[in-house]
Structure 1
Amino acid sequence: IWGYILLTPWIVGLLIFWIGPILASAYFSVLEYDVLSPSKFIGLENYIRAFTGDKQFWPSFGRTFYYSIVVVPLGLFGSLALAILLNQKLKATNFFRTIFFLPHLTPAVALALLWVWLLHPTVGPVNTALGWIGIDGPGWLTSKDWAIPALILISLWSGVGGNGMLIFLAGLQGVPQELYEAAEIDGAGPWSKFRNVTLPMISPTLLFNLILGIIGALKVFTLAFVATNGGPSFATWFYALHIYRQSFEYFRMGYGSALAWIFVIVLMAFTYIQLTLSRRWVYYAGEKD
């Protein structure tokens, strides 16, 4: 019984701060609820409105998918490449691991504000440096054509050396050296060892990082909110930002909850698809065919 007593604070916190809000948002999603006025049950009208009457619903999804399609593959490739480099037995390896991980430790708001200054079109160091070599730098965060590429650049700079790299590094260090030695005996070169030994052995790690990467990219919010506030001309109005605006600026809590549940369903669908397809390419050591 003492075990249950000791678990009580955690269970209470779980109910209040996690399960409670989830159930509340599901309830709000079928209401016309704006906090200030009495709520009204409207069934699935919020969901129907999202698909048929919201001018920013589909565009915000499109921008989010565009951002994710670029960020996720580049982020995975960069994290894996860094992990491979930092897995070598070289001097000062721990120092470089720390250096690459530091940007990930920077608070997201501070990171966004730093890059707003760096990418300022007139006084920013980036455009100033480009001017020295005769290149007229764009308005990175003020041009609708450059805003999303700029956010992608910032995300990769801060994320490539983060948790994904550490998880890949742990996976690489778990690959038995005997497999590499056996491959060398068979005459395998570096690329052959990577393709036939490393990739299969770290495929579960790759799947894990892929799922987390897609979820994280689809949830992009803080960077766009602080750096561009959804602009210019809605260029960075991502789906999570759309949920925030509807819920906490326009006080359409019922509609915002419906948007959030649509988002949850999309994330669950993506995760299910990835887990289903992973059976074709993920190798688990010791698993029988």
Structure 2
Amino acid sequence: MRDAAKVNREAIELYDSKTRQERKKWKESFVGYAMISPWLLGFFGLVIGPMIASLYFSFTDYDMLSSANWVGLQNYIHIFTSDPRFVQSLKVTLIFVFVPTPLKLAFALFLAMLFNTGRKGSGLFSTIYYIPSIIGGSVAVAVVWKQLFGSRGAVNSFLELFGFSGVNWIGSTDYALSILILLVVWQFGSPMIIFLAGLRQIPQELYEAASVDGANSFRKFFSITLPMLTPVIFFNLIMQTIGGFMTFTQAYLITGGGPLDSTLFYAVYLYEVAFEYLRMGYASAMAWILLVIIGGITFVFFKSSSYWVHYESEGGRS
């Protein structure tokens, strides 16, 4: 009897101990979820909710003034078969993404390597070069850029000093997109700072060993610096590509998508369809197509990364 009572007490104590532990875990979980509840409310209310709503509206004819009418795949069919402006906007956006992005990353890496030498004032200059990335997407910079390259802007005034006639930079189909690309390349500060952080993580012993072997600067760059930086390059490539697809402010304020739709970015055309033509269902379908395009390109980048991105934790193997 005594043994049975002892066993029962031990079972009760074990049960009480497990109950207290479960209550403690539940309280900890409750506190944790309570702390992140503002983010959860914002995520579900401002991200997931609108995404589900836009997916529904993409299958409807909806103008925000009347109830939505279900049309099935009609919006998607019209986009791919009967909308030349969609094709033009996608073409312009792809050019805008894949032309300036390599230029921006190359220029950012070049300056990061200069600032990584540790010379006096390098910290100050890296901060100065970072400023355009902070303000580059602002309305004020877009307006200033438009004034600089206007028909009577500072750029034409400077060229006239050397006898060149003024160029209609913004109003010409030959130059308008190039002006926007130049603005984006100018905003190289953010990837530059990331490259600088990556360069400072490369062990100096590798360069010292290469110097002992007689390697010159170019050999060190292609054999040490570039392979060690491939994860950083990959990160910058992904972020800059996604950012390029979402570019809106510069084109909308500087060129308005013109002339002759030569700078009609995808985001600008989507905005026009949604808020100028009030075709919210059609715009929602365009938004989901853009999501699929970005997701597809990102997937290709990740799949190809195994062939050229090298991680130190993997012993130098991709």
User: What TM bracket, shorter-length normalisation?
Assistant: over 0.9
Aligned residues of 1:138 and 1:146 also touching (Cα < 8 A): no
Q: CA deviation at 1:286?
A: 2.0
- 1:169 and 2:196 aligned: yes
- Structure 1 match to 2:94: 65
- Structure 2 match to 1:98: 127
Q: CA deviation at 1:65?
A: 1.2
Alignment partner of 1:188: what SS? Answer: coil
Aligned residues of 2:63 and 2:281 also touching (Cα < 8 A): yes
Among candidates 254, 263, 288, match of residue 227 of structure 1:
254
Q: CA deviation at 1:137?
A: 3.2
Aligned residues of 1:80 and 1:165 also touching (Cα < 8 A): yes
Q: Return the letter of the residue paired with 2:140.
A: A
Q: Percent identity?
A: 43
- 1:120 and 2:144 aligned: no
In the aligned structure 1, how far is the partner of 2:180 from the partner of 2:31? 50
In the aligned structure 1, how far is the partner of 2:229 from the partner of 2:55? 38
- Structure 2 match to 1:213: 240
Q: CA deviation at 1:248?
A: 1.1
- Structure 2 match to 1:137: 166
In the aligned structure 2, how far is the partner of 1:154 from the partner of 1:137? 20
Give unmatched runs, 5+ long, in structure 2: 1-29
In the aligned structure 2, how far is the partner of 1:213 from the partner of 1:97? 19
Alignment of 1:8-157 (within 5 A): 8-106=37-135, 107-122=137-152, 124-157=153-186
In the aligned structure 1, how far is the partner of 2:39 from the partner of 2:125? 38
Q: CA deviation at 1:55?
A: 2.1
In the aligned structure 2, how far is the partner of 1:219 from the partner of 1:22? 16
- Structure 1 match to 2:294: 267
In the aligned structure 2, how far is the partner of 1:48 from the partner of 1:81? 45
- 1:248 and 2:275 aligned: yes
Give unmatched runs, 5+ long, in structure 1: none
Aligned residues of 2:57 and 2:284 also touching (Cα < 8 A): yes
Larger radius of gyration: 2
Report the number of matched residues: 286
Q: CA deviation at 1:114?
A: 0.6
Q: TM-score, normalised by structure 1?
A: 0.96
Moved more, 275-284 or 59-68: 59-68
Post-superposition Cα deviations, 1:188-207, rounded to whole Å, max 9, x if no partner, equal: 11000000000111100001
Q: RMSD between aligned alpha carbons?
A: 1.1
Alignment partner of 1:56: what SS? Answer: helix
Q: TM-score, normalised by structure 2?
A: 0.88
Aligned residues of 1:119 and 1:125 also touching (Cα < 8 A): yes
Write out the 4+ residue segments of structure 1 that deviate beyond 3 Å after TM superposition: none
Q: CA deviation at 1:280?
A: 0.5
In the aligned structure 2, how far is the partner of 1:250 from the partner of 1:133? 46
